[in-house]
Amino acid sequence: MPLTAPAVKPANPNFSSGPCAKRPGWTVDVLADALVGRSHRAKPAKQRIEKAIALTRELLEVPADYLIGIVPASDTGAVEMALWSMLGARGVDMLAWESFGEGWVTDVQKQLKLQNVRTLTAPYGELPDLKTVNFDNDVVFTWNGTTSGVRVPNADWIPGDRKGLTICDATSAAFAQNLDFTKLDVITFSWQKALGGEAAHGVLILSPRAVERLETYKPAWPLPKIFRMTKGGKLMADIFEGATINTVSMLCIEDAVDAMEWGKTVGGLKGMQARADANAKVLADWVAKSDWAAFLAKNEAERSNTSICLVIKDPEITALSDDAQAAFAKAIVSRLDKAGVAYDIGGYRDAPTGLRIWAGSTVDTANLAALTPWLDYAFAAEKAALSVAA
């Protein structure tokens, strides 16, 4: 492997898995007309919020009878709203195969303290057995495991005649993977992932079945104001018509609108998905030839095209202690960071030691192609340094 640094660096070194790279060509000037200093309830501000909702429906191809709302606290807030407002009406199947799915299990079991809960888990790099899911229950799952690089391959495992609701955390999947809305009742995501948008706000999409649950079921526990979606047993429809539960950032709204307008220029949903697929292929082709890097996701059909998680397979490195392996991976990350080649590509803190590289639609394929020689260089340089130290 090369011990001389490659001559070409990625034009954009932002490969973080959230907040992710801004769309190509983005500058702060796109926010020049943002309605800062205005009430988010003023007519022109509400129109921009309505524009963000309309673009979400258009770009994601959300069915006309599904509702779309902008809610507090990023994707986490959107998921929590659904869990606290809807669960408890029937049993629950919780699916977890990475950090965020495990977090939802903790909330349901230890915070809501629901009793009739089945937990279907798998280690990092794998999926639970989807054939064992009980759809008489409500089902909570993450479409794309941001911290493991493992996604569900499709929605074929979800029946159309299910009795329970499907609550899907789609934050690293929306705009980059095929979400079958006919199989999903609650869909959540944040702008900071596949759109490269700003953090702090979440998007909550509800099917008619989810709305029915909200209007016919009252949880036994009190709900904080930011979780409440009904009043007097009826849906607070204005949340899904441009009103927001609390003050929304008009800068963030403008940025999300810009990102979605860009998405339309690259071919809409299919174009954005194709960009992510092309990016993932660059890394897959490199991994296929690599003698030191491997995918954390074991099954190719279940590999993410956005959050690419890698592990080190070199025998000399895997023979090291866990702490030494972690230090080695951090050294690779640090070397690339200092060189201005790749920022924030360390594996997630709860995941197996390795690297995590964002390959979503807002990343240009050429940048990933330029990154791969640097990955080889950084690995070789750190391995050489390790040998000298030994």
Q: Are 120 and 76 in contact (CB under 8 A)?
A: no
DSSP 301-366: GGB-SSEEEEEE--HHHHTS-HHHHHHHHHHHHHHHHHTTS-BS-BPPTTSPSSEEEE-STTS-HH
Burial degree of 367 (CB within 10 A; 0-12, 13-18, 19+): buried
Burial degree of 232 (CB within 10 A; 0-12, 13-18, 19+): exposed
> Domain 28-264 adopts which CATH fold?
Aspartate Aminotransferase; domain 2 (3.40.640)
Token pair, residue 138, equals 């409500």
pLDDT at residue number 39: 96
Residue 349 to residue 6: CA distance in whole angstroms: 29
Q: Are 232 and 30 in contact (CB under 8 A)?
A: no
Residue 247 to residue 230: CA distance in whole angstroms: 19
Taking the CA of residue 7 as centre, how many other CA atoms within 13 Å lie in the half-sphere pointing to its CB? 0
Residue 73 to residue 127: CA distance in whole angstroms: 27
pLDDT at residue number 1: 62
Q: Are 34 and 251 in contact (CB under 8 A)?
A: yes
What residue ranges of the chain have pLDDT lower than 70? 1-2, 390
Chain-centroid distance of CA 349 in Å reads 16
Residue 19 to residue 235: CA distance in whole angstroms: 32
pLDDT at residue number 122: 98
Q: What are phi and psi of 329, to 5 degrees?
A: -60, -40
pLDDT at residue number 390: 65
Q: Are 87 and 214 in contact (CB under 8 A)?
A: no
- Core vs surface per residue 100-117: b (16+ CB within 10 A) or e: bbbbbbebbeeebebeeb
What is the architecture of the domain spanning 268-389?
Answer: Alpha-Beta Complex (3.90)
Residue 69 zone, left/alpha/beta (φ > 0; ψ -120 to 50; rest): beta
pLDDT at residue number 237: 96
- Asked if domains 28-264 and 268-389 share a fold, the reply is no
State the residue for tokens 């964002």.
358
Q: Are 359 and 342 in contact (CB under 8 A)?
A: no
Q: Are 177 and 125 in contact (CB under 8 A)?
A: no
Which candidate, 363, 317, 312, places its Cα nearest to that of 342?
363
pLDDT at residue number 388: 77
Q: Cβ of 305: how many Cβ atoms within 10 Å?
A: 26
Q: What are phi and psi of 189, to 5 degrees?
A: -165, 175
Which candidate, 254, 272, 126, 140, places its Cα nearest to that of 193?
272
Residue 14 DSSP symbol: B
pLDDT at residue number 2: 62
pLDDT at residue number 387: 80
* β-bridge mates for residue 230, sequence order: 235
Q: Where are the domains of the chain?
A: 28-264, 268-389
Q: Are 368 and 6 in contact (CB under 8 A)?
A: no
Q: Which residues contact 326 (CB under 8 A, 6 or more apart)?
A: 353
Model pTM? 0.97
State the residue for tokens 């036994």.
220
